[in-house]
């Protein structure tokens, strides 16, 4: 599979073919590829929905762009396509991911370009013992800025209304 080949070229974490198939069959709307002019896969994003928490949310399993295609905006486009699908299909309010503490380029992409916030550092998260930053991106404000309409706006915007009410209560105290 070409996506798996791209993963092998780009990342220290590698997945078996069945893992890609599982994502593709379970959440076909959430994974995207970038191809060159010869139809070779030069980047991809593999994503899924997490439904174990109180609030279902998206999770980025893997993002990779081959070295010679980096700094062209491909990773940002792949991530935004996935975020759009998470909102439009699943009414998803946020997306999470993990990134190696040593991966400064990826951390910059996530924190500065895509506006992810670090929620914690998870010790020894990776198989080789390296720590990971757990990160989260709010999709509610982003979707509003991008003009994206979720399938259930009343649920999607619920926290915004609640926060505004709480803000008014605090202001009137």
pLDDT digits (tens, 9 = 90+) for 105-154: 999 999 999 999 999 999 999 888 999 999 999 999 999 999 999 998 88
Which tokens belong to 47?
């994503």
Local confidence band at 53 (pLDDT 50, 70, 90 cut-offs): low
The answer to whether the CB of 87 falls within 8 A of the CB of 143 is yes
pTM > 0.75: yes
pLDDT digits (tens, 9 = 90+) for 150-172: 998 888 887 554 444 444 444 44
Local confidence band at 75 (pLDDT 50, 70, 90 cut-offs): very high
β-strands 57-65, 32-35 pairing: unpaired
């Amino acid at each position: 599979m070409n996506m798996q080949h791209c993963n092998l070229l780009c990342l220290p974490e590698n997945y078996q073919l069945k893992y890609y198939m599982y994502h593709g069959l379970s959440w076909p709307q959430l994974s995207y590829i970038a191809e060159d002019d010869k139809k070779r896969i030069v980047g991809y994003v593999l994503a899924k929905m997490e439904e174990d928490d109180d609030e279902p949310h998206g999770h980025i399993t893997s993002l990779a762009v081959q070295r010679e295609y980096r700094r062209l905006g491909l990773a940002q486009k792949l991530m935004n396509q996935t975020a759009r699908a998470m909102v439009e299909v699943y009414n998803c309010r946020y997306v999470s991911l993990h990134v190696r503490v040593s991966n400064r380029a990826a951390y910059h992409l996530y924190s500065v370009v895509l506006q992810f916030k670090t929620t914690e550092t998870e010790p020894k998260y990776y198989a080789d013992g390296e720590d990971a930053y757990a990160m989260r991106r709010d999709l509610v404000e982003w979707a509003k800025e991008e003009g994206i309409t979720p399938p259930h706006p009343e649920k999607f915007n619920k926290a915004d209304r609640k926060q505004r009410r709480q803000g008014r209560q605090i202001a009137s105290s």
